Amino acid sequence: MKSVFRALAAVGLLLSFSVAAANQLAEGTVKRIDAPSQRVMLAHGPLPSIGMGSMTMMFKVRDAAMLKPLKVGDKVRFQVEDIGGNFTITRIEARR
């Protein structure tokens, strides 16, 4: 019986780590903004929510309005999710 409780506790701990990784904000720098196509190019650090390492790449943003306050060179914190096979920024904020 104790082993069952230990196994359940281990599963709960793993799930909490997964949720924490998914809610973590990554950091990056805006390299280019393409408002008409709702995309932004970021040089970013690791993205634990999708298991990606550091690189520079274009991302789709969930809402075009997310791009309005950004400018090239801004340091940002953001969250990205795999939505329908596209890595999509669901939250982004400039670090001032």
Write out the residue range of the structural domain in which residue 70 sits: 2-94
How would residue 41 be classed by pLDDT, with cut points 50, 70 and 90?
A: very high
Tell me which residue of 85, 3, 95 sits closest to 44, measured CA to CA: 95
Query: E strands of 35-85, at which residues?
Result: 39-44, 55-61, 75-83
Question: Which CATH number does the domain housing residue 25 bear?
Answer: 2.40.50.320
Instruction: Report the percentage of the chain scoring pLDDT > 90.
Output: 69
For the chain, the domain total comes to: 1
Inter-residue contact 17 to 69 (CB < 8 Å): no
> Do residues 78 and 26 touch, judged by C-beta distance below 8 A?
yes
* Predicted local distance difference test score (pLDDT) of residue 78: 96
Whole-prediction pTM value? 0.74
Give the model's pLDDT for residue 49.
Answer: 84
